[in-house]
Structure 1
Amino acid sequence: MAQYGQQTVVVVQQPSFGEAPVQTTCPNCHNTVVTTVDKKAGLFAYLMALIICLLFCPCFWIPLVIDSCKDTEHTCPSCNAQLGTNKRL
């Protein structure tokens, strides 16, 4: 009778990337790190700028500089690989 080796499957759940840095294991360098966050204007910020431009033109730039309107990009501080993005829209 033949015996077969057992296989173990390990499922690693990606963390939910939000506004704040998260602790995760980088798939690129395999280090356990706390992500570095960077705010960048995305679809939501540009859409809000367009709406404000139509309503009150001189203030259209405000959503482009407010962090709460921007997307959040998470990167690894060790190897600078992009790990995830939290999009506002």
Structure 2
Amino acid sequence: MPVVRSATPAQSPCPSGGKHIVTATTPIPGARTWLLCTGLLVFRCFLGCCFIPFCVDSLTDVKHTCPVCQQEHLRYQRL
């Protein structure tokens, strides 16, 4: 799966249809999110504070999908 360098929607050809589309983006937890969560647990951030990285979109990876066929074909990894 190709990796892109932008969290914003990108123009690319659809992998199944071949037409040029603008991708739909969805935040998903990645390695950076899990590392921050683990780091907060180590520093004793209990009571749910360690889950804050999962709620902040700028700390998660971004999945780019085709809005027509819903197939994932690009991913932006922050770490």
Q: Which has the larger radius of gyration?
A: 1
Q: Normalising by structure 1, report the TM-score.
A: 0.77
- Residues 85 and 28 (structure 1 numbering): CA distance in 2 closer, same or farther, change over 3 Å? same
Match of 1:87 in 2: 77
Match of 2:32 in 1: 44
Which of the pair has the greater relative contact order for Cα pairs under 8 Å at 6+ separation?
A: 2
Show the 5 A alignment for 1:11-30: 16-30=4-18
1: distance between equivalents of 2:57 and 2:67?
Answer: 21
2: distance between equivalents of 1:28 and 1:18?
Answer: 22
| Identical columns (%) | 29
Q: Normalising by structure 2, report the TM-score.
A: 0.85
1: distance between equivalents of 2:78 and 2:3?
Answer: 17
After superposing on structure 2, the runs of 4+ consecutive aligned residues of structure 1 that deviate more than 2 Å are 14-17
Question: What is the RMSD computed on CA atoms of the aligned residues?
Answer: 1.7
Please say if residues 62 and 76 of structure 2, whose CA atoms lie closer than 8 Å, have aligned partners that are also in contact.
yes
How far has the Cα of 1:81 moved from its partner?
A: 1.2
State the number of aligned residues: 76
CA deviations over 1:53-80 (Å, ceiling 9, x no partner) = 1114232111111111101000000111
